[in-house]
Structures are given as structure tokens and as C-alpha cells.
Structure 1
Amino acid sequence: MSFKLSLGGASHLVEIVSRRPHLVVRVDGREYTVEDEGSGEDGRDVVAIDGEVLALARSHNAKGQVIRFDGHTSDIALVDPRSESSEGGSGSGSIRAPMPGSVVSIDKRAGDAVKRGELVLTIESMKLQTALTAPRDGIIAAVLRAEGEKFEKDEVIVRLEQLEEGH
């Protein structure tokens, strides 16, 4: 499982590598072992990250959470991949595979107009089907895999182009 977090305004890719016997996460390609050490003083949590014990406090806000540890306070929130791509990021012109697998069905073809969030194709990975949607409004420029074809994680499966004025 992977997701992006915004920490102090910077986006970081977080992947859960394993949950047992301890939580192992990969943040921007670097692995960390996280162990729950229980509650500390004043309702703070205590965790060990790669053996280093840290006291931290957290609270919720409108956008996510506020975390304080090691003398620093930071806002942290999940990054919605649809909003990230609609802001013109590098992924805004394509739909990438979130995991290796194969194409089950294609709902949009080259030349079709799509709206953000509209189903483009369905993939399957380890018997789990996932619907991939358009990250923004646009025109399907190319569908790079046919039904039944396999692909790797992060491979571009569909390319989008901008809608022309007046569409």
C-alpha cells in the first residue's frame, strides 16, 4: 500500500512494506522500522523509529493532523492524487499503474473526452480489481495497453492531453 503525505508543505511517498512483526515503512525510498512504545507523559505517544525512541504529540485539524516531535511542529495531511495532478504536476498528463498487474477492461479510447474522476480503465493485481480514473478533464491521447496486457508499477498506461478551448 502506498500513499502521499504532505509534511511541512513537501510531498512524500510513503509505502507500507510490512506490518509484522513491526511496522516497516518506506518514505521516499528509505525504509524505517516503527515500533509503538506506548503512551508517555501528558498523553503523548512514544515510538521507536529504527531504534531511536521519540516522544510525539498529535492533534487533528481541518486538513489533517498536527504532529510535534523533536522540538518541531508540523502539519501533515494525505495528498489527494486527483488534486495533485489537477494542479499541473508531472502526473497530470498520464494515468500510471499504482501496482504491477494487467488490464481487465478499457472504458475510454483515444480521442474520447473525459472529466476528472471518470472511469478510464480497470486493472487487476493479485486478484484485486482497481478502477483507474482520469486525474483531470482532458482528451485521451493514447491507451498504451490492451485488455489482458501486463504492466509494471508506475508504468504509464494512458496519456491525456488538454481540452481545446470551447470544449
Structure 2
Amino acid sequence: MPIELKLNGKVHEVTIARRRPHLVLVIDGEEHEVARPPAIGDGRKLMSVGSHRVEFARAELGDRQIVRIGGRTYEVAFVDPFSPGGVGGGADTLKAPMPGAVVSVQKKAGDTVIRGEPVITIESMKLQTALPAPRDGVIAGILKGEGETFEKDEVIATLEPEAKD
């Protein structure tokens, strides 16, 4: 299952291709071998990525990481796919995180969903991803069916608006 990281405002998809004999990460579709993963914790670190020695500094700042590498500073944070402002869309919409095609539809209009429950499975760059409901609610509409294509940030499902108390 891919992990989404936000690096200076841009979302990147990261998956672990393998752990042995060396860690191999797939970042935005490109493989990177990490021969010497750094120890956990703040401070100056060293790791080997491919044939390169990479020195960097890391500091934890709440739910974010500040990384200084190659003379530049980056802010890194995990993207919570279930948060209303996350990649999944707003509280009432389910948006495509990248262009692709619908592989299967798990829910239909009128179905009740729980936050995080799979609604639609998509495929992008030969990777299948289940898109979760952004909150508890009722599906208002599924805008794309099996085999249909979509663009990045296109709304592919909606939830009925939350009732105002």
C-alpha cells in the first residue's frame, strides 16, 4: 500500500518494493535503493542511495519533519487520506490523487460508508489504489464507472452533505 508524503506542498507516492538485501523504495514510480538506512532520531545522518552517499540533517517538529539536504531545507509530512483537506478531497468529495482509470467500484449511490472504507479502486501507473471515504456518510453519487478514465483532482464520487444541527 502506498504512503503519500507531502514535500514542500507537493504530494509524492512512496511504496516499499523490497526490504532485503537492501531497502528499495519506489518514489513517484522510480526505484531507489537505500543501502544504509539512517538511524531514527534527530540530528545529522548519513545514508547510501544507489551509489551516492547522502548526508542530511533531520528534526521532528510536531507531525512534520524538517530535513536539510544538499543545502536546501524541506518540510515533510504524511498525508492523511482520511482528513477532509487531504488528497482524498473535501469532506463531501472523493478526488483522484492522480490520473488513471477505475478498476472497480465497491459502493453505489445510497450506500452508507464509514470514514476510511474503500469506495472505488483505481489504477494509475500500473499501481492499484483503493480510495477511501473521507468521512462517515451516505454516497450521493459515483461519477466514474469501471474502465472509465479520469484526470488528477477530478471528483469521482460524492457524499451527501452533512446534516446541520
State if a TM-score over 0.5 links the two structures.
Answer: yes
Q: Could you tell me how far apart the structure 1 residues matched to 2:162 and 2:16 are?
A: 42
In the aligned structure 2, how far is the partner of 1:6 from the partner of 1:67? 13
Q: How far apart are the structure 2 equivalents of 1:70 and 1:54?
A: 9
**Over aligned residues, Cα RMSD in angstroms?**
3.8
Whose radius of gyration is greater, 1 or 2?
1
Q: Which amino acid aligns with 2:111?
A: D
In the aligned structure 1, how far is the partner of 2:34 from the partner of 2:55? 13
8 Å CA contact retained: 1:65, 1:76: yes
Matched, 1:15 2:15: yes
Q: Distance in 1 between matches of 2:133 and 2:37?
A: 42
Identity %: 34
Partner in structure 2 of residue 161 of structure 1: 158
Please name the residue that 2:5 is paired with. 5
1:67-91 superposed Cα distances (whole Å, 9 cap, x missing partner): 1111111110110111221335633
Query: Residue 34 in 1 paired to residue 34 in 2?
Result: yes
Structure with the largest fraction of helix: 1
1:86 to 79, 86, 89: 89
Deviations 1:6-26 (A, max 9, x none): 011100000100111111001
C-alpha deviation, 1:38, in angstroms: 6.2
Tell me by how many angstroms 1:166 deviates: 5.8
Cα displacement (A) at 1:62: 1.5
Q: Distance in 2 between matches of 1:27 and 1:38?
A: 18
Cα offset, 1:37, TM superposition: 7.0
Question: 5+ residue gaps in structure 1?
Answer: 122-130, 146-158
Instruction: Tell me the equivalent position of 2:153.
Output: none
> What residue identity is the alignment partner of 1:86?
G
- Tell me if structure 1 keeps the 8 A contact 2:141–2:159: no
Is the 8 Å Cα contact of residues 22 and 34 (structure 2) preserved in structure 1?
Answer: yes
Alpha-carbon separation, structure 2, partners of 1:27 and 1:2: 9
